[in-house]
Amino acid sequence: MDDSEPTVAWRRPPAGEQPVVHQTDRVVEPVQPLNPAVNVNQPGVSPYVSPVIAPSPVRVAVWRAQRVIYYIFGVIEAIILIRFVLRLISANTSNIFTQGVYGVSWVFVFPFNGVVGNANLGGGSVIEFFSLIAILVYALASVALTRLLELLV
């Protein structure tokens, strides 16, 4: 090629923009894509955007396990919170719903029973501080388990 002739340089524009053509007196090297494995001649492929790389199956499995852990611990915390509110408003203990909530939640709060005393507000209302402690411990346990799973990947 003769150096006296101007060359035309063309770069693939970002999505939504028109191509810009510049006339120069020198040869312009083509733009190097971020990922050399990307074929920039393929329609719809931009060298300016790194392609989305699919996560490995192990990472997907860990992500799903983390979601399951958060879900299970969230349900446990919700049951304990319902127990806390029912005790706070002195719900009728002969009601089947109240009995069910107390029975199911007791499995999760009994290790914390007696850690601190309850506050009687009068009229049957009770603040169960051990229920609040149980919610905090289960929340921290869920975060600890999910972080442990991240370390294994």
Pick the more confident residue, 114 or 7. 114
Q: Are residue 32 and residue 97 in the same domain, yes or no?
A: no
Q: Are residue 123 and residue 62 in the same domain, yes or no?
A: yes
Q: Are residue 78 and residue 93 in the same domain, yes or no?
A: yes
Three-state DSSP string of the chain: CCCCCCEEEEECCCCCCCCEEEEECCCCCCCCCCCCCCCCCCCCCCCCCCCCCCCCHHHHHHHHHHHHHHHHHHHHHHHHHHHHHHHHCCCCCCCHHHHHHHHHHHHHHHHHCCCCCCEEEECCEEECHHHHHHHHHHHHHHHHHHHHHHHHC
* Residue 34 pLDDT greater than 90, yes or no: no
The mean pLDDT of 128-141, rounded to a whole number, is 96
Task: Give the amino acid at 66.
Answer: Q
Q: Are residue 44 and residue 96 in the same domain, yes or no?
A: no
Q: Are residue 8 and residue 77 in the same domain, yes or no?
A: no
How much is the pLDDT for 152? 85
pLDDT digits over 101-131, tens only?
A: 999 999 999 999 989 988 888 888 999 999 9
> Among 53, 73, 97, where does a domain finish?
53
pLDDT digits over 74-92, tens only?
A: 999 999 999 999 999 999 9
Entry pTM: 0.64
Backbone angles phi, psi at 9, to 5 degrees: -105, 135
Range of the domain at 34: 1-53
The whole-angstrom separation of Cα 6 and Cα 24 is 6
Number of structural domains (the chain) is 2
Backbone angles phi, psi at 97, to 5 degrees: -65, -45
